[in-house]
Amino acid sequence: MKTMQFHGTEKTLKSKVLYSLQSIKSLLVFAFCFCCFFSIYSPLLPVPGKIAFSQQSSIPFPASPTTIPTNLSHIVFGISGLAYTWDRQLHFNELWWRPGEMRGYVWLDKEPAADATWPETGPLFRVSTSNSSHLGNGRNASAARIARIVVDSYQAVLTDPNAAEVRWFVVGDDDTVFFPENLLAVLRKYDHRQMYYVGSMSESVEQDLEFSYNMAFHGAGFAITYPAAMELARIIDGCLDRYSHHYSSDHLIQSCLSELGVPLTQEPGFHQIDLHEDAHGMLAVHPVVPLVSLHNLNYIKPISPHYKTQHEAVKSLVDVSCLDPGRTLQQCICYERGPGFIWSVSVSWGYSVQLYPWAVAPKDLVKALTTFRSWRTQSLGPFTLDTRQLNLDWPCDLPVLFFLNHAARDGVNWNWTTTEYSRDLKQENGCKSPSSSEAFKVKTVRVKAPQMAPAEWKRAPRRQCCKTVRIEGGEILLVQINQCKPGQSSLSQ
């Protein structure tokens, strides 16, 4: 298998012919040896094919039943990093890494400089193994190094006599921000004793066309079960050689898993964010799945205009997510009816509120306003999510925007939260309609919501319902979120 090449790799016809002659020759030799071997040893070893694998075929962890829910101790993280940039990217990792609770390593290309200080609160580092022949220099070599992280992590567990049970290997980039409770909620849906490859494609169709719609993009993070990592470890060296013309680590992993017949299980809560400009349009309409990760945050504007740096803006989202992880970015839609007007209210919990001074149907409110451009060509699409054109020349088409500025648990009902969103003051009312002027009077949207029960993600997905009321002379819009009652819809008030 090791020398096997596929069409599509740069090979001359001559070498292809030579190659097939060689493979016929080796097949004959192999068949001959196999027969000798089999006739001598078959009574002892009825399945000779197993011999080569015997070293790794024992599973160190008796596959524990799914009745014990997966927790953080069952996950081994593998973060890709570079020795010379790690300290610059560190601030994204420290937003979510929980020392003592999480396991795993940052896999570096080489030892960090002798005088570099490695933070005690972050994950420990290891230097990637650079094993097979494709690891020369350059981009493809670095892709192969990163593709090996799952196997490097698996081998680190295998050689650690004190390793506790591992169910999943989760891989991400040094600038990936994970939301740990939501990652768990997603992984708990799947039986860790089987071979799973869970992640998500890119938002930019041009990226999916370049690689595959069935590839988990590395920066968004992806998860591979222990049994899948074990099979991957067996084939990785030959496999990386076969695809040494790939320049992207996630493409390599997908190619190898494809040899094993393991397809991608799509989970849209992993976000690669292959976008430019402002991701707000997308983050304001998160699908009804847990928010698992964010990535490429250095390439887009700070996600909230209330903050100067991206780090502060993302920190505010991470902080609020601790109050109610499952509800983070969950959208809810309701309508406020006033004298002679109707407003459409769309909340992205913990992040922002869009207030449209007219009636927009829910089916349109769940489409992302195109505040962003595609990754490669910076165009307005196509994307793998539904979008609505944002037209800045028509101020009456634009929603009034509010962003999170305060969050707390409810003093009386401990498992309710109050989050407040204040207007983006840079936004001016360019639309002279009475309804719009009334909407611009709102200074704060105050949202009360019960904590989302963890069991919510085991039910059929359903956007929750909300009700609105204007108070304090119209300066505050109160929104109360609840699970929809029988007979209730987004249009009920």
Q: Which of 87, 94, 165, 420 lies at the binding interface for ligand NAG (CB under 6 A)? A: 165
Q: Which of 5, 129, 266, 384 lies at the binding interface for ligand NAG (CB under 6 A)? A: 129
- Does 210 contact ligand NAG by CB under 6 A? no
- Does 450 contact ligand NAG by CB under 6 A? yes
Name residues contacting ligand NAG, limited to 371-400 (CB under 6 A). none
Q: Which of 23, 56, 130, 131 lies at the binding interface for ligand NAG (CB under 6 A)? A: 131
Give the nearer residue to ligand NAG in terms of CB position, either 70 or 370: 70
- Binding string, residues 286-325; x marks residues near ligand NAG by CB under 6 A: ----------------------------------------
CB of 443 to ligand NAG, least distance (A): 30
Question: What's the rounded Cα separation, in Å, for the pair 271 and 172?
Answer: 11
Give the nearer residue to ligand NAG in terms of CB position, either 165 or 424: 165
Give the nearer residue to ligand NAG in terms of CB position, either 142 or 370: 142
Q: Which of 28, 113, 209, 453 lies at the binding interface for ligand NAG (CB under 6 A)? A: 453
| Binding range to ligand NAG, per CB under 6 A, among 65-73, 115-123, 383-391, 432-440 | 65-73
Question: What's the rounded Cα separation, in Å, for the pair 26 and 450?
Answer: 67
CB of 143 to ligand NAG, least distance (A): 8
CB of 426 to ligand NAG, least distance (A): 37
Q: Which of 133, 378, 415, 489 lies at the binding interface for ligand NAG (CB under 6 A)? A: 415
CB of 481 to ligand NAG, least distance (A): 12
- Does 451 contact ligand NAG by CB under 6 A? yes
| CA distances in angstroms from 106 to 414, 423, 493, listed in the order given | 37, 39, 50
Name residues contacting ligand NAG, limited to 3-22 (CB under 6 A). none
Give the nearer residue to ligand NAG in terms of CB position, either 26 or 483: 483
- Does 244 contact ligand NAG by CB under 6 A? yes
Please give the structure tokens belonging to residue 170: 């989760």
**What number of chain residues touch ligand NAG (CB under 6 A)?**
18
| Binding range to ligand NAG, per CB under 6 A, among 176-184, 200-208, 388-396, 446-454 | 446-454
CB of 68 to ligand NAG, least distance (A): 5
Please state the separation of Cα 149 from the chain's center in Å: 17
Answer yes or no: are the C-beta atoms of 349 and 328 closer than 8 Å: yes
CB of 137 to ligand NAG, least distance (A): 9
CB of 236 to ligand NAG, least distance (A): 8
Question: What's the rounded Cα separation, in Å, for the pair 371 and 275?
Answer: 10
Give the nearer residue to ligand NAG in terms of CB position, either 382 or 450: 450
Please give the structure tokens belonging to residue 143: 């892709």
Residues in CB range of 281: below 8 A, 6 or more apart: 368, 369, 370, 371, 372, 387, 390
State the pairing for strand pair 265-266/197-199. parallel
The C-alpha angle 95, 99, 100, rounded to 5 degrees, equals: 150
| Binding range to ligand NAG, per CB under 6 A, among 129-137, 255-263, 325-333, 389-397 | 129-137
| Binding range to ligand NAG, per CB under 6 A, among 186-194, 333-341, 449-457, 462-470 | 449-457
Name residues contacting ligand NAG, limited to 69-128 (CB under 6 A). 71, 73
- Chain residues binding ligand NAG by CB under 6 A are 64, 68, 71, 73, 129, 131-132, 140, 165, 237, 244-247, 415, 450-451, 453
